[in-house]
Amino acid sequence: MRMTYLVLARIIAVLIVVQAATIAWAVSGVFTWVVEGGNTLDKSVVEGWDAEPPTFEGALGSGLHFFFIGQAAIPLAGLLLLIVAFFAKVPRGVLLAAVVVVLIAVQILLGINSQGTPTFGLLHGLNAFILFGATMAAAMAAKNAGAADEAPAPVA
């Protein structure tokens, strides 16, 4: 179970990196769509996004960031990490997994509410780094616990 814990923590970390890359791809695509394509990003485009999404390069990154990775894959992996933590026998493993789950919840709330409060967008970006650090701490705890188990017994 310790290996499962380690893998889940690393998967979350990788998903956070992909999350950052997809939103950068989307924002870059929007700027290119506006500046080079002469298009206009206004309220009607944003409100009609679901029914008629823009066709700029990187538009897929927006959906991946918001829905697939941000509101499905990462939360699911976080919940699995917390469940596995109870059986993995990783020192501080349950605590670290609980911190990861709380940070994921905070991340989702900040992202959802950042449209009306841009400061939340700033905190959303900052929290992503904190969440990444927490997942790496969880992974290191599992890795170190496994290394301690495999160390040879001291000779008396």
What whole-number distance in Å separates Cα of residue 35 and Cα of residue 23? 18
Q: pLDDT at residue 148 above 80? A: no
With bands split at pLDDT 50, 70 and 90, how would you rate the model's confidence at 152? low
**What angle (nearest 5°) sits at the alpha carbon of residue 14, between those of residues 145 and 9?**
25
Which pair of tokens denotes residue 5?
């814990």
- Cα Rg for the chain, rounded, in angstroms? 19
Of the candidates 58, 68, 4, 6, which has an alpha carbon nearest to the alpha carbon of residue 34?
58
Distance (Å, rounded) from C-alpha 109 to C-alpha 97? 19
**What does the pLDDT average to over 36-49?**
85
Are residues 6 and 149 in contact, defined by beta-carbon separation less than 8 angstroms? Answer: no
In terms of Cα–Cα distance, which of 136, 130, 60 is closest to 102? 130
Q: What is the tens place of the pLDDT at every residue in 100-124? A: 999 999 999 999 998 889 999 999 9
Q: Cβ(131)–Cβ(43) under 8 Å?
A: no
**Structure confidence at residue 105 (pLDDT):** 97
* Res 75 pLDDT > 70: yes
Distance in angstroms (rounded) separating the CA atoms of residues 79 and 110: 19
pTM confidence score: 0.87
Q: Read off the pLDDT of each residue in 80-103 and give the average, rounded to a whole number.
A: 97
CA-CA distance, 129 to 20, in Å (whole number)?
10
